Structure formats: C-alpha cells, structure tokens
Structure 1
C-alpha cells in the first residue's frame, strides 16, 4: 500500500544540521520513497539555507499562520532532497529563522554568550509554535494531505496537537494520523504557561494530563500525549525512558502510553559511509581487502595527528560531542591506563570547555601517544573511522548512535557501553560470541572507568595475541546491514499500524 507521508523536522542534512535528527530527516524520506511511498519534508527556511548555493526556488504559495493575536503571512520555498525527487518545503519567516550565523556565534536554536557558554533564543517557544502550525497549513495549500504526518523532537511537538484539536475538523484531515519520534528525551522544550496564548488552543488543555508539566508548557509532552504512535530511535532506549534513570521526568507518562510506544533503530546512509567508495579516504577497501589497506590509512591518521608511525600500537579513535552524555569523563579517567597498555589515542570533537582543556593538557603531557583536534572536520571524521583499530563510544546514554554503525562498516570494532542503540547494534566479543561468529565489537555494562579499561584491555589482548579472533570481529562487523531500507520497513509497519 502506497502512503502519503509528511515528515516535519527542524533540521535536515544537506540544508541545516546540528545533530543526528538532521541525518534521520534526510535519509528516512529517501528510503521511504524508494519503497514506493509519496513523501514530502518540511523545515524552516533558515539563513544557512537562504544564503547557500543549494537549488531552492520560491513557490507561489503564501500561507497565513496564526501566532497568538497575530496572523503572519509566510512564503513557501521548495527544493528536492539531494539526489532524489522527494520535495522539501521551507517555511519562510525572517522574524524567526533568518538569524543563524556561525561567524558571530548564532546557531539554529542558540547563540554564544560572553564566557563561551551557549544560551537558547528567548523566543524559541514562539518560533516553534509557529513552525508546528505552519507544517499543517503548508500541507493544506500544497494539497499534499498526508495519511501520516511524522513529527520529530520537541520543535514539532505541537503538530499532533494542532492536528487533533484544529485540523481534524477539516474533512480532508479526517483520516490523517500522527507519529512522533523522540530522538533525545533530555531536550523537551520547556517554557512558561504563557505559551498557551501563542497556540490559540483552548485553555483547558493546559492540565497535567495533556500540555502542563510541573507548571510549565512542555512541547515534548504535547507530542507524546496527542500523537497516535510514539517511537524512539532504538528498542532499548524505548524501554530505558520508561525508567526514572532515563525518563527525565516523563517516565510515568511513557509507561501509561507504552502500548503506543515503539523503538526503531536508526539506519546508515551507506552512500556517504562506505569505505569502498568514501571520497574522503585516500585508499578504498572492503571486507576482502581491509587488512591490506587499513595499515596505510592508520599511518595517514598518525601523520595527521603528528604521532609516531607505530603500526603495531593499537590506535583508539574518538569522534564525539565532548559532553558528559558521550562518556568523555570515563575516557579521560581510564586513558592513562590505555597508554600504559601501549595504545595511541586520537580525538575529534567539540563541546564543554572543561573537556577541551583536559584533553589538550592530556595531549601536552603525552604528545607521542595522544592527538587532539578541537572542532569538527568531515574528512578527518571519516579517516578516524577508517584508520583507527578500535573506536571508543562509552556513552552514559545513547538513544540510537550512528558512529558505532559507521565503525562496524569501516572494520574498526566499536567499544561501547550497553545502553540504548549501542546495546541494540553491537554484539560484544566474549568467548561465546567469538565461538559463534557473532561478535561485532566490545561492550560493558557498568558506567565506570574500570569497566571501560578492562574492556579495552580485553580488546587489546585479542588485537595483539589472538589476531585471528580480532580479524573475525572486524569481518563480522563489516558484514552487518544497518541500511535505511531496513529502518524504513519498520517505519512503514508503524505507519500502517496507526492507520
């Protein structure tokens, strides 16, 4: 059955990106279209889209969008997802979206302040009340009335509410259903109760069963409450967020709604992440040639980080946001032990200034074994995935995770903590999983530096003393299929369920 699906996201890879949400919003529609569905995407018309060289055209549509006591007219722009015929619509409202400028520290949702910290824009609630309403208005004027509207994260949390409370009264929306995806429950869109005035929704909806959360207006709770189905980006994370440890205060609501809560693992765009074709790599390889080519890429990576060309030393790679969620504190605590094991380490990422300082001090103390690059480089990220011997990802929590999937494809076994999508995607190497030919990486459970150290010690033992076992892990990992077609099939079943 071919479905009409409208996917709403505050960012889409190729146009605007701050994290994994953009990757999903760019890849899932492409995979759904390849499965025969009619798909369209809608996002804000940010300055980065406006000023780019992307082929964006102005449409004939101007839509009225009520926000509080005002009705704003906004122009609709149009393009295609790169390499596809999937239309993407941009909501143009300069008052809300023509402000991002990295040169002066202004992002999509935040701006840099004196002292180096980032602060949310004070009108974020108004911006995304507007955007959520505009998503459904644009469907109306473009005559793309979806069977399913698929909203993502708090910025689109009001889409299911507006659908139920306002648009359901229109005959053409009678059969439209909503799916709401939580990419990270820690980000909820919490604002004062005055946001109710901006929504033009009836005041009685501001109650503890619907839009109110401890006296605040909660965008994420709105999406959870009103959507016909909820999903997270891995099965394990869907269970974890029903507990006090991971639910960020919404665990009770999620347990109440567990019958409509599902977990679907994110996929990988193997057009972009494939060592056999990767344009960022000086040499290509696959599962048959990995052990011939990888040493050259390792040497290239060591050269980039000014490390000695030591082919036999295990090289540990880290590409991550440098924040506590990613387990950077565990890595820093355990890292002296890794060096004692004879390892080299390379880091790429940016985040909390204190981690920047600690990593730079660590590198200065051990310049022959540690390389650090504060910032982000797409080409260097790909080289780290290809040139490292092991990839470190000991996250405190991880809704889905993508880097562990990249690492497996690149023959660099990931070292992960058993949480969220990491638990769902990586089979840790044990005597049993090695014997069964199932191991695709290394994993541990307790969030402690010692647990991470012992896991690296075990991985290094295989690397040095049991190379056949280590090579088996590499080959098994490279043969895994985490393509978006697999994930799209799961979303397809979810859409059919809500219909």
Structure 2
C-alpha cells in the first residue's frame, strides 16, 4: 500500500518528480511498479534511485502475497527479477529495476559485492556495480555539538576541553562508578545485537577489566543474551562497569561527551553514526575496519602523528584487545592524546559533502 501510494499520491496531487529516491526494502517495490504498471501515467518517466542501508534486511515474503496484493505478473517471480531462494524480495526487485543504486558509505559499496556481505545478492550487485554509488552518510551537526548540546552538563570545544573533563566527573557520579577522573572510560552506545561485534566484547571484557586500569560503560537494549551478560559484568566489576540496559538519549549524549574511548567492533557496519558522534565530542573511536567505520576513522600513526582514532582489521577478539591496549597506551602521552582529540573534533562528517555527491548522482540518472 505504501509503495503504491507514493506513486499514485504524487501523480494525483500534481507533483511529478524527476527522481524518486527510495530507501531500504520498505520502498523496494516502487521501481518495479513504476516500470511495469505506471508507464502510461504522467509519473511514469520518473527515474528511481534505491539506497541500501543494510543488506541483512531484504523484505522477503511469498510471491503469492505480492501477486495478490499488487497484481504483479507471475513472470517476475524468477531469479532475474524478484525471486530469492524460495522467497520474493522487495529489495531484489529494487536492485533489478532501479535506475541507480547507492549505499551509505564507499567501503560498503565494495563490500556488498562479496558473498560475505551480500546475503545472497552478490550476482545482481556485481552485475550492477557500474550503477552503484557509495555515498557516506552525514550526521546532525546541530544536535550533536559539544558547544551547545543541552543534554550535557558542561560545554567545550577543541580549544578548551575543560568542559569535557567536568562532564566525565559528572558521568562518574551519575552512573555510580567508583573510579578517579584519571581512569580512562571506554564507552559504547549500541543496539545489543551480533552485528555490533558484541561477541568479541563478551570474549575479552573479563581480560580487559582484570589487566587494565579502565572503566567500561555500555548503553543499549537488544538480544537477551547480551543484556544478561552485561548485567552480570556490572555486578562482577561493581564500580568499574556500568550496563545501562535501556535507551536514554540524555545519558547517551553524556557517554559520547565524557568517555575517553568509544568502542565499535562491528561485524559489519554499512555506515555507522556513533563513531561520527564520538569524533564530534573528542571521544576517540576504536573500530573494526569495515563499511563506514573504515571511511570515517583513520587509525593513529605514531610515527607521522596522524589519525583520529584506532582500528583493527580482522573480526578477532585478540586483535580488538590489541587495539584497545594500544589506545590506552597512547592516551598516557598528553601530547599525543591532545593531537588525536583535536583531529577527531576537526573531522567533517556533516551532510554538506554528501549532499554534493547526491546531487551529482541525481544529475547522472537524468
């Protein structure tokens, strides 16, 4: 209903777009409907762009439902069009019929051509590689601004970090941690799902807490397995681990602002927004080199004094631990720490750059 309504409502109110930009599987039927059923309408010449936000979610249903609901010809229930291993897929239809495809980061545009990331769609994604644009998402620079954010107690900028230090003291107090302000805090704000690399955290958190002088704070909800694990770890390391199993926007902002390091060891990450927010607040990300994490976080190079965070390449718990230990070691040098924070806060992840590339893509399809 939604996909058909987009097309018919636009035509009925007299708004005939040059381009219809579809996002994710919920809009995936628009390109096929437009090309197969609306060619004689005034909107029939509109071009379509389909943005893939996450290949894991493809909108798969029985084809008989499609046929009944939308009157789609049975000839499209084939591997060339909509058919996807015993199912019909909203996303597959868009991958075939949209005039252009895009992803939310340049690296993800390359990764989804690999079977490990394509979720059985590598054939069509490789065939359409020339039509696929990788455009990095941006973030809301006004909502996440350490100089004006109403959800953090103290404001700061890259030239005056005294407010960040005060925010850390407030976070320690508010979350009931029993550490001194000099102890590094590793923060996470995330959905508690396998995609986010939490298996690596589960495997290594005991060792981190036993061998390093750190505190660990996580906020989020999700799979029961992970929720229970982090509750257990908070009880085991009372005063050094805080598991905030809920979603609280104010606390999330405070974790971004007050933490020293921000951990994102994702198994895959089409773009990711949390690492961008962390950079904005001078909280140094530790990320796995995948998708948008690879495109936004440049790993620290101590010899050239470059980079705005830390990274590791393989989905491996010990490799993640090595990156964490290297980050903690680097923080012990005030000069290196200050340089990293400055470069992190100078990172430009606004939509201004992305908007120009989107405009080029719209022009290309016309």
User: Normalization by structure 2: what TM-score?
Assistant: 0.97
Q: Which residue of 2 aligns with 1:124?
A: none
Determine the structure 1 residue equivalent to 2:254: 383
Match of 2:80 among 209, 213, 216: 209
**Mapped partners of 1:399, 1:220: distance in 2:** 16
Find the residue that maps to 1:168 and give its secondary structure. coil
User: Aligned pair 1:493/2:364, yes or no?
Assistant: no
334, 339, 343: which one aligns with 1:476: 343
Match of 2:204 among 308, 311, 334: 334
Match of 2:300 in 1: 429
Q: In 1, Cα distance between the equivalents of 2:313 and 2:40?
A: 50
1:285 is the counterpart of 2:156: yes
> How far, CA to CA, are the matches of 2:181 and 2:244 in structure 1?
21
Over the aligned positions, Cα root-mean-square deviation in angstroms equals 1.1
Q: CA deviation at 1:205?
A: 1.7
User: Residue 299 of structure 1 contacts residue 309 of structure 1 at CA under 8 Å; is this kept in 2?
Assistant: no
Question: Is 2:32–2:98's contact at 8 Å kept on the other side of the alignment?
Answer: yes
Partner of 1:313: 183
Aligned pairs (5 A) from 1:76-475: 130-170=1-41, 172-194=42-64, 195-290=66-161, 292-339=162-209, 340-432=211-303, 435=304, 437-464=305-332, 466-475=333-342
Q: CA deviation at 1:174?
A: 4.7
Structure with the largest fraction of strand: 1
Structure 1 residue matching 2:125: 3-state secondary structure:
helix
SS at match of 1:497: helix
Deviation of the 1:337 alpha carbon? 2.6
Q: Which residue of 2 aligns with 1:65?
A: none
Alignment length (residue pairs): 364
- Shift of residue 234, structure 1, vs aligned partner: 0.4
Q: Deviations over 1:402-431 (max 9, x none)?
A: 000000010001000000000011001123
Q: Which region of structure 1 is more displaced relative to structure 2, 230-239 or 205-214?
A: 205-214
CA distance in 1, matches of 2:199, 2:357: 35
How far, CA to CA, are the matches of 1:294 and 1:337 in structure 2? 28
Q: Which runs of 5+ in 1 are unaligned?
A: 1-129
CA contact (8 A) 2:287 2:311 kept: yes
Q: Compare relative contact order (CA 8 Å, sep 6+) and give the higher one, 1 or 2.
A: 2
Counterpart residue number, 1:78:
none
Residue 386 of structure 1: SS of its match in structure 2? helix
Detail structure 1 runs of 4+ shifted over 4 Å in the superposition: none
Mapped contact 1:160–1:227 kept (Cα < 8 A): yes
Q: 2: CA distance between counterparts of 1:407 and 1:186?
A: 25
TM-score with structure 1 length normalisation? 0.72
Q: Residues of 2 paired with 1:142 and 1:481: CA distance?
A: 39
Deviation at 1:309, TM superposition (A): 4.2
Displacement, 1:328? 1.1
Measured against aligned partners, the alpha-carbon deviations of 1:141-198 in whole angstroms (never above 9, x if no partner) come to: 221111100011111100111111122222x225310000010000001111212221
Task: Give the structure with the higher percent helix.
Answer: 2
CA distance in 2, matches of 1:133, 1:315: 49
Deviations 1:79-106 (A, max 9, x none): xxxxxxxxxxxxxxxxxxxxxxxxxxxx
2:225 match: secondary structure: helix
Query: Does the 8 Å contact 2:35/2:44 carry over to 1?
Result: no
Unaligned runs of 5+ in 2: none
Residue 438 of structure 1, CA deviation? 3.2
